[in-house]
Structure 1
Amino acid sequence: MPKLKPPVEPGERIQVEITGQSHTGDGVGKVEGFTVFIPLAIAGERVEARVTRVKKTYAHARLEKVLKASPNRVDAPCPVFERCGGCQVQHIAYPVQLEAKRKQVADAFARIGGLENVEVLPVLGMKEPWNYRNKAQVPFGGSRGRVRAGFYAAGSHQIVEFEHCMVQQPENDRAIQRVKERVKELGIPPYDERKHRGVLRHVMVRTGVHTGDVMVVLVTNGPKLPGRQRLVEGLREDIPGLVSLVQNIQPKRTNVVLGPENRILWGEPVIHDTIGPVRFVISPHSFFQVNPAQTEILYEQVKKHAELSGRETVIDAYCGIGTIALCLAEDAARVFGVESIPQAVEDARHNAALNGIDHASFEAGTAEEVMPRWAEEGIRPDVIVVDPPRKGCAPEFLDAAVKMNPDRLVYVSCNPATLARDAAYLKERGYVNHEVQPVDMFPQTGHVECVTVFRKRKEEGRL
């Protein structure tokens, strides 16, 4: 049977009715049943677009004209929004963003998991969905005389410069601009990724919103940092709240921002911040949620679903630096954390000691290897908490978790697609969920976080 040719081709101008939003925030329409993704288009609109790329089952197009605008379209406040790849949906009214995210989760459960009976609750959003990020990671480029710093344009490594990012803490913006000014003044060459030359690759700024601590990490192409002493002195003068100034060395040709080696240029190797009553140390490599206000809401949902009374044993299976484990510890009898990154485990132990929590222990290794050994040692969890990366949980991990026979498995997900996939896998093994609570951790973007709880299905098939 001959293959059907797509009804559109690159360069063609098309008119499309937009019927939905993709998980990245693009408008979705059909041309003769063929799917077309159009950034900046909104469901309910009719648009004119230019086809840019055609695949076997879908195409991408560039919005050229809105023929019939949606009442949900708003003016994006960021002057570089349409060029910058940091945010995707500033042009959509915030309540509509939240509903689109709820629908994204519901669609994933129905389409990927085959679980249409799972209720997806309204998304928990922010009262002020701006200036929320406590971490900025900005590439540098250009030349000695023309230093450029900004975020990459969508789908490229073209730097889009900005002065004020609408989703960053203002302290992060100011610190980046001060670094840019000092680097230009001292003639420190920015990195050229095509030639693999130059010095300054990225600047990462982390802000402790509850402590006021600021960390600046200068990511360099090698150990040399010209003008180091003058740069340190200048940034100490320029950046209020600066507690930690670090050089991170990343000599590889790679898109991975941080290299393995950190050198303290001035101050402390870490900063501090809090989640609720728990205090944490944060190093350059630490995973720490970037939206502090919504993190507290997210973790309250975790606590709600864990249903702890003070008698339970809890395992945090992707514990990182111990954020969830230590936030649950006050309501648990014993907490165990497992994490594959040894440095994160050391940080988790330090955080436990920092908060006087002596009934939490942490171990380095993969959960699927460590948990069976814990089971042999007689550890029987009442609750297992998982907060995996976007790829979700490996089948080997889910099998190990089910074998430990917990009453509840609380799943925190940053990817509805892999959550839905894992929900179907768990259902086959006797653990089911009935509702999902999305939380908007990343306003003005297409991303959404979810919390749900899986419980053992009773023999009669009811919970």
Structure 2
Amino acid sequence: MEFKKNDIVTVKIEDMSHDGSGIGKADGYTLFIKDAVIGDEVEAKIMKTKKNYGFARLMNVLVPSPDRTEPKCPKARACGGCQLQFLSYEKQLEFKKNKVDGNLRHIGGFQDFAIEKVMGMDEPWRYRNKAQFPFGKDKDGKIVTGFYAGRTHAIIPNRNCYLGVKENEEILNRIIAYMEENHVEPYNEETGKGLVRHALIRYGFTTKEIMVCLIINGERLPKKERLVEKLTQVQGMTSITANVNKKRSNVILGDKIIPLWGQKYITDYIGNVKYQISPLSFYQVNPVQTVKLYETALEYAGLTGKETVWDLYCGIGTISLFLAQRAKQVNGVEIVPAAIEDAKKNAELNGIENAAFYVGKAEEVLPKKYKEEGIYADVIVVDPPRKGCDEELLSTMLDMKPERIVYVSCDSSTLARDLKILCGEGYALERVAVCDMFPAGVHVETAVLLVRKP
């Protein structure tokens, strides 16, 4: 049977895609259906057809899966922030474990391994220490903030996201009150006019310090003292800044920070290591799970106090400083100069003297230092972006022949691709662990230990 757009079909969901969509068949024709979960029988409306598969919108759940759950957030279906709120947390963890397992087997070609642990959360809500809220206007001209609908830049109004901290709602209420009272316009993407683009809010889970950074399409915020007056009434407020971004692009943050009140940073801890976090810093968003992930990386590194470690894509030194507590020397590499400045400050803050940091692309710094200075490593730790490691970097890692490689990954497909190269040239896949950094979302972190074959 040939299906066309707007056809209504009944589908039994038998699998889920990497982005969390339910997968089922109507008369042998594969359909991807957002918000449907394994075990559901649903009525769906076909929205787009390809030769061998199509995409459909969930209309009704006819027979719910035993694993279907009522979402905590009333905006869950419209909002693009969560993909798995309709799936029980136990099954979310199973989905993520299967995703990593499948990628390592199908892309990496690994068969003889087992995922030794899946680190989930006891309380998978209110876990994010950072949130970025876009501002705009609704059809009635009222200022709104929230999150973008999936694959669009249409704002779904929501000041109370259940993944973020409770304090976010009060802060957003105060920002919008300031904007309304002082006729400060939100940014309009279509016209490039308006001032307030986003609010970036960070929260220190240990210190309870709060940072608010307003991203603005200009150099100044009118009547800024009125905004400061409102925000400083929030308990824990530590840093209020503006960030200038006048570019017409999807990139949220610009380079220029304007202090409005208090410090330019907040502090927080991962384990017993203290970090300074500025508006531009990359810092893991789930502090509870970060401790579990980094402790696993530290365990896999097998440090005795005699090792030289290279930490590639080190950010503000989060993993580096964790490792430095048990290594002889840790060297971190990161492309963002501001992050390296933060890393050096963080080392000083903790009295850590056996950590050094270098600015540059990991795939350029490491090969250059190896060829020109003959550097070596007992252990290499990599925590690359989603695209994984550059080929030249992998090649240099192989040339350096460290005893152990600890690979921390936010994308198990590029992880599997890179491990295939490393394990084809003298390394063995020894241990694998999965850490759920993003409950209700589809992404998952993986920590892997590779050991050099004798």
TM-score (norm 2): 0.96
Aligned to 1:94: 89
Aligned to 1:447: 443
Could you tell me how far 1:145 is from its partner in structure 2?
5.9
Query: In the alignment, is residue 210 of structure 1 matched against residue 206 of structure 2?
Result: yes
Give the whole-Å Cα distance in 2 for the aligned partners of 1:164 and 1:133: 13
Structure 2: which 5+ residue stretches go unaligned? none
Query: In the alignment, is residue 165 of structure 1 matched against residue 165 of structure 2?
Result: no
How many residue pairs end up in the alignment? 452
SS in 1 for 2:60: strand
Could you tell me how far 1:252 is from its partner in structure 2?
0.8
Structure 1: which 5+ residue stretches go unaligned? 1-5, 459-463
The alpha-carbon distance between structure 1 residues 57 and 397, as it changes in their structure 2 partners (threshold 3 A), is farther
Query: In the alignment, is residue 406 of structure 1 matched against residue 406 of structure 2?
Result: no
Could you tell me how far 1:441 is from its partner in structure 2?
0.4
1:273-288 equivalent positions in 2, closer than 5 A: 273-288=268-283
1:18-417 equivalent positions in 2, closer than 5 A: 18-142=13-137, 146-237=142-233, 239-375=234-370, 376-417=372-413
Q: Say which of 431, 453, 463 aligns to 2:427.
A: 431
Is the Cα–Cα contact under 8 Å of residues 310 and 381 in structure 2 kept in the other structure? yes
Is the Cα–Cα contact under 8 Å of residues 367 and 392 in structure 2 kept in the other structure? no
Give the whole-Å Cα distance in 1 for the aligned partners of 2:118 and 2:277: 28
Could you tell me how far 1:177 is from its partner in structure 2?
2.4
Could you tell me how far 1:378 is from its partner in structure 2?
3.6
Q: Look up the equivalent residue of 2:143 and give its one-letter code.
A: V
What do residues 278-325 of structure 1 show as CA deviations (whole Å, max 9, x unaligned)?
Answer: 111101110100001000001010011000011111000111100000
What do residues 360-408 of structure 1 show as CA deviations (whole Å, max 9, x unaligned)?
Answer: 0000011122113332424211110011111111111111111111111
Give the whole-Å Cα distance in 2 for the aligned partners of 1:344 and 1:448: 24
SS in 2 for 1:301: helix
Give the whole-Å Cα distance in 2 for the aligned partners of 1:358 and 1:67: 62
Q: Look up the equivalent residue of 1:16 and give its one-letter code.
A: V
Could you tell me how far 1:451 is from its partner in structure 2?
0.3
Is the Cα–Cα contact under 8 Å of residues 135 and 172 in structure 1 kept in the other structure? no
Q: What percentage of residue pairs aligned between the two structures are identical?
A: 46
The alpha-carbon distance between structure 1 residues 66 and 331, as it changes in their structure 2 partners (threshold 3 A), is same
TM-score (norm 1): 0.94
Could you tell me how far 1:187 is from its partner in structure 2?
1.5
Could you tell me how far 1:122 is from its partner in structure 2?
4.0
What do residues 161-202 of structure 1 show as CA deviations (whole Å, max 9, x unaligned)?
Answer: 123211111123322222122222222101111111100000
Q: Look up the equivalent residue of 2:198 and give its one-letter code.
A: H
Aligned to 1:3: none
Cα RMSD (Å) of the superposition?
Answer: 1.6
